[in-house]
């Protein structure tokens, strides 16, 4: 089994869920931003640099349906952030040793 | 506080609805919008302010088809028809979230004093202007 899948579902501008996730996740783990968590991945937002740093040793993705619900386009994301669908979410969860939900 | 205008049928107060939450993670945004529309329907002087994550409510091109919720973002377009003429968006909140002014929904109202010309409803204001707007309101409701 591979590393932990971390999900974050809160806006980084309202709660520190993402900040804590970034502090406490290990290299090699996957961070998936869902629901209001996707707001962190907007290029030019104040979380951009933190995400870029995290992507030096972790993978960061966002859930596509939550992105589109919020009017954010894939080309407006921080470079290097991937987009997965519900099927990709299931796949990531199944592949990971466990799922940690930062709420 | 300014003196409210008196009209036949009651006193018109300056209502300010402060919206600080993102649209789809909770019900606050949708309910705030509905209450503001109700206030406007009762001929109150209604203004709305969007700040912090509230600015995300006005992001253009929201499409909730895949998350299975009602896409209430289309309802903001009704604000002009309900005679809401003041929608303020805080510049600092937009900037820290990487959202450009041109990414907001192009809301308009028809100006009855200017041959019903369509005019933009949204004013982007800075922190200092917003302080004054809050100070001038008679009644403030928060969502």
Domain A5-102 has CATH 3.50.30.30: no
| A68/B contact by beta carbon, under 8 A | yes
Q: Which of A54, A76, A62 is nearest to A33 (CA)?
A: A62
Residue B8 has pLDDT above 60, yes or no: no
Residue B4 lies in a domain: no
Cβ contacts below 8 Å, chain A against chain B, sum to 69
Q: What's the structural domain count of chain B?
A: 1
Let me know if residue B113 belongs to a domain: yes
Identify the pLDDT of residue B12. 86
Q: What is the ipTM, given to two decimal places?
A: 0.91
Q: Is the pLDDT of residue B83 over 70?
A: yes
B77 is in which domain, residue-wise? Answer: 11-142
The reply to whether B2 falls in a domain is no
Q: Is residue B3, in this structure, part of any structural domain at all? A: no
User: What are the tens digits of pLDDT across the range A20-66?
Assistant: 999 999 999 999 999 999 999 999 999 999 999 999 999 999 999 99
Q: Which of residues 26-85 of B touch A (CB under 8 A)?
A: 52-53, 56, 59-67, 69, 73
Whether B22 sits inside 8 A of A66 (CB atoms) is no
Q: What is the model's pLDDT at position B1?
A: 47
- Does the pLDDT of residue B105 top 60, yes or no? yes
């Amino acid at each position: 089994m591979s590393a932990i899948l971390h999900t974050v579902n809160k806006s980084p501008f309202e709660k520190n869920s993402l900040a804590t996730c970034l502090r406490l996740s290990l290299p090699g783990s996957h961070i998936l931003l869902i629901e209001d968590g996707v707001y962190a991945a907007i290029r030019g937002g104040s979380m951009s640099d933190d995400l870029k740093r995290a992507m030096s040793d972790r993978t960061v993705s966002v859930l596509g349906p939550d992105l589109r619900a919020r009017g954010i386009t894939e080309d407006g994301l921080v470079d290097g952030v991937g987009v997965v669908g519900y099927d990709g979410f299931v796949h990531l969860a199944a592949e990971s040793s466990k799922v940690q939900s930062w709420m | 506080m300014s003196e409210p205008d008196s009209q036949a049928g009651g006193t018109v107060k300056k209502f300010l609805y402060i919206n600080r939450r993102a649209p789809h993670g909770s019900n606050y945004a949708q309910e705030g919008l509905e209450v503001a529309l109700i206030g406007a329907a009762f001929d109150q002087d209604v203004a709305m302010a969007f700040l912090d994550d509230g600015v995300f409510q006005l992001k253009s091109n929201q499409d909730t088809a895949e998350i299975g919720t009602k896409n209430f973002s289309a309802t903001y377009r009704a604000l002009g028809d309900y005679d809401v003429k003041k929608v303020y968006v805080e510049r600092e909140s937009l900037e820290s979230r990487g959202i450009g002014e041109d990414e907001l929904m192009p809301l308009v109202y028809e100006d009855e004093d200017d041959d019903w010309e369509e005019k933009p409803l949204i004013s982007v204001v800075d922190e200092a202007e917003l302080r004054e707007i809050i100070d001038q309101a008679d009644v403030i409701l928060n969502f």
